[in-house]
Amino acid sequence: MKIAVVGATGMVGSVLLQVLAERKLPITELLLVASSRNKGKEIEWEGKKYVVKDLEEAIECQPDIAIFSAGGSISKEWAPKFAEIGTTVIDNSSAWRMDVDKKLIVPEINASDLTKEDKIIANPNCSTIQMVLALLPIHRNYGIDRLVISTYQSVSGTGVKAMEQMNNERDGVKAEMVYPYPIDMNCLPHGGDFEESGYTTEETKLVNETRKILGDNEIRITATVVRIPVFGGHSEAVNVATKKEFDINNIRKELAATEGITVQDNPDINLYPMPLYARGKDDVFVGRIRRDESNPNTLDMWIVADNLRKGAATNAVQIAAYLIDKNLV
């Protein structure tokens, strides 16, 4: 299987290479692809050195699968070109997520929707992925009526320059700022760009992508995205109102039985998910599961995951593995 990693020199690209090595996909040829300014660089993977190609060279190599982590504008321009030659593209950007003709995939939820005809497959937003996986058993068993979401997202979700800003602030260095305010020792209720509605683009993604993945446009959703001074790992406080009555102990059992979920929920010993301990792991961690006593058929939970792994690279590699396993490429 010939696989291309587009954006191989970037932050998500490097994690993609780690996950590809861990997951042992049947790769016969690996193409590492980046912008023309990085063409010719060498990257070592699994004990072998690879020379970085540009996009034109990668297309000439006709990969079976191309995993894109190079930004929306690159994906918009180049994903169709790869698809035209028969390559299946798995795209990590927001470019194709809400396209009515493209599928938005979290493998544990809806990989079975994929066919050989799907040549551009969208990977959801990092904060959406971890949340919908935790919502899956609740929606299937009880139906979700409304979600109130507050996310606490690490600076790595913004990118390398945001991590550099926080490091500079901690070191007392005045340098380029990605955020409009300092991020160290601070919280910014500002994810993405502000829209006319007063919501931000990151908040709108949570609303629209959740409905698309769960296949239910009737779910009422509101979200607030907060950027916090943590290097890696996104956390979410989610209030879930259901259509049917539930037993909170059954909710815990159903979550624990869900593929990709680890329940950490024992207040007696201070056991709950934290981004510090989720980093470097592929599971989504769920805890603080409790009934909301202020409203009927409603519960609260706390959801944490590594945004660069399950929130991006791992999910993309899982899609690739599914395509290979089901002979869809």
pLDDT number for residue 250:
98
pLDDT number for residue 200:
98
pLDDT number for residue 75:
96
The arithmetic mean of pLDDT across residues 312-321, rounded, is: 98
Are 203 and 119 found together in one domain? no
> Which of 19, 93, 15, 4 is CA-nearest to residue 53?
4
The arithmetic mean of pLDDT across residues 124-146, rounded, is: 98
d(CA 55, CA 57): 5
Q: What is the mean pLDDT of the chain?
A: 97
For 176-248, where are the E strands, in sequence order?
220-227, 234-242
Are 78 and 133 found together in one domain? no
pTM across the whole model: 0.96
Are 23 and 166 found together in one domain? no
Q: How confident is the model at residue 246 (pLDDT cuts 50, 70, 90)?
A: very high
Is residue 73's pLDDT more than 90? yes
The arithmetic mean of pLDDT across residues 22-32, rounded, is: 96
Range of the domain at 119: 2-124+312-325
> Tens of pLDDT along 136-181?
999 999 999 999 999 999 999 999 999 999 999 999 999 999 999 9
- Percent of the chain residues topping a pLDDT of 70: 100
- Per the structure, the count of domains in the chain is 2
Are 120 and 171 found together in one domain? no
CATH number at residue 160: 3.30.360.10
Are 301 and 153 found together in one domain? yes
Are 51 and 135 found together in one domain? no
> Tens of pLDDT along 199-208?
999 999 999 9
Are 161 and 109 found together in one domain? no
Helix spans in the chain (H): 11-23, 55-60, 72-84, 107-110, 126-142, 160-171, 201-214, 248-256, 275-278, 314-325
The arithmetic mean of pLDDT across residues 117-125, rounded, is: 98
d(CA 222, CA 152): 15
Are 225 and 83 found together in one domain? no
Are 23 and 116 found together in one domain? yes
pLDDT number for residue 306:
98
d(CA 153, CA 148): 16
Which tokens in the block code for residue 275?
């981004």
pLDDT number for residue 36:
85
Please list the active-site residues.
126, 234
pLDDT number for residue 283:
98
Are 117 and 145 found together in one domain? no
Is residue 35's pLDDT more than 90? no
- Taken in order 202, 203, 204, 209, the sign of the CA dihedral is positive
Are 61 and 132 found together in one domain? no
Are 52 and 143 found together in one domain? no
The arithmetic mean of pLDDT across residues 311-319, rounded, is: 98
Is residue 258's pLDDT more than 90? yes
The arithmetic mean of pLDDT across residues 300-308, rounded, is: 98
CATH number at residue 89: 3.40.50.720
CA angle in degrees (0–180, nearest 5) for 240-245-246: 75
pLDDT number for residue 309:
97
Q: How confident is the model at residue 78 (pLDDT cuts 50, 70, 90)?
A: very high
